[in-house]
Homo-oligomer: A and B are copies of this chain.
Amino acid sequence: MKPTDRNANLKYYSIKEVPECYIHGRTDKDREDVPLFWNNSGIEVCTDGTELWIEVESDFSIYESWYAVEINGALVARSMLQPGVSNICLFRNMSGGVVKRVFFYRELQAMGADDDCYMIVKGMYSDGDFSKVPDYEHKIEFIGDSISSGEGTYGADGDMDWIPMYMSSSHNYINMISKKLNADVRIISQGGWGVCCSWDSHRESNIPDIYDYVCGLAHGEHNKSLGADKPLDTSDWQADAVVVNLGTNDDSGIRADSSIDVQVFEASVYDFLKKIRGYYPKAHILWVYGMLGYGITANISRAVTKYMDENNDSNVAYLTLPNTLEDEYGSRMHPGLKSHEKAAKMISDYLAGRL
């Protein structure tokens, strides 16, 4: 079925033809369409039509993409995305002439283990006019691991499969912070990875190494063609704050492999702060840690302190977050909705006082 089969007033717009649309997340700005590489990456529009569709293309070999839809800030839909070109109806039969604010976004983190996984927004069908999305007051980048990929925020207590269905941006502390602070947020996250190694002690599985690209986690020729491997250019999106939520996997990795020294970890924290500062000279950099325990907090403290002292950079802070308590877990023994809410409250309160 084509969208216009049921509503002849719908008109197709390629994304380039909707200059009022707001693009969320790191992507290749030179393209005609909008690849969504990271969770919470998406397209936001304001429109006064009665109906709105989005045209999305995607594929995968192992890990399929999921998407979510918010209307006027409220989550209304969440679904698996099928391969091929999909026309997804975001709303229909609503009052014409009333502006609806619509946010369509990727739920799934970038999937380094599936070169064929991608998701592209190509166009929209609307029977109304588009208007400017209200300005966000802040720009905040979040860098993290499974917690920031929302692992466990969906799914039953006890379910342990590592699948896209159980990851999200919609029930994620970062999405909550976005709303509390009226902030445009970006997420760079990969489950299982840390700042110097992965939970299972792989040194190459670290976020800093993949940070310098539009999406250093999206591999393969096709993702390359989408601009994933383009160098990161922050000239037109300068974050007010960068929040790094890493350390949980390093802690596991270091415990499991005595050949990785905590000094390596501390050096990685140090170097990553320098790298981030290079991209965002004026951003407040906040390191947070603790939603799954405090094993490596002293080392984060030491490294952050050393970085601040040696670089004379006082625009950095480190906060420990409340741990996930017994009744606050979701699936996969990961923080559930209640734990994400606690983190969102603490981080947004802190940032509100700094920004």
Given contacts A63-B93, A94-B163, A159-B72, contact A84 B322 (CB under 8 A): no
Q: Is the CB of B346 within 8 A of A322?
A: yes
| Count of chain A residues near B, Cβ 8 A | 62
Quick one: CB contact mask for A88-131 with B, threshold 8 Å, 1 for yes? Answer: 01011111000000000000000000000000000000000000
Given contacts A76-B165, A95-B161, contact A350 B323 (CB under 8 A): yes
Quick one: CB contact mask for A297-316 with B, threshold 8 Å, 1 for yes? Answer: 11001101100110000101
Contact of A156 among B72, B166, B309 (CB under 8 A): B72
Q: Tell whether A42 is near chain B: CB-to-CB under 8 Å.
A: no
Task: State how many copies of this chain the complex holds.
Answer: 4
Q: Is the CB of B323 within 8 A of A346?
A: yes
Chain B residues near A331 (CB-CB < 8 A): 74
Quick one: CB contact mask for A148-159 with B, threshold 8 Å, 1 for yes? Answer: 000000111111
Q: Tell whether A133 is near chain B: CB-to-CB under 8 Å.
A: no
Q: Is the CB of B294 within 8 A of A161?
A: no
Given contacts A1-B84, A72-B156, A95-B161, contact A294 B319 (CB under 8 A): yes
Q: Which residues of A contact B (CB under 8 A)?
A: 1, 6, 62-64, 71-80, 82-84, 89, 91-95, 154-161, 163, 165-166, 290, 293-294, 297-298, 301-302, 304-305, 308-309, 314, 316-320, 322-323, 325, 331, 342, 345-346, 349-350, 353
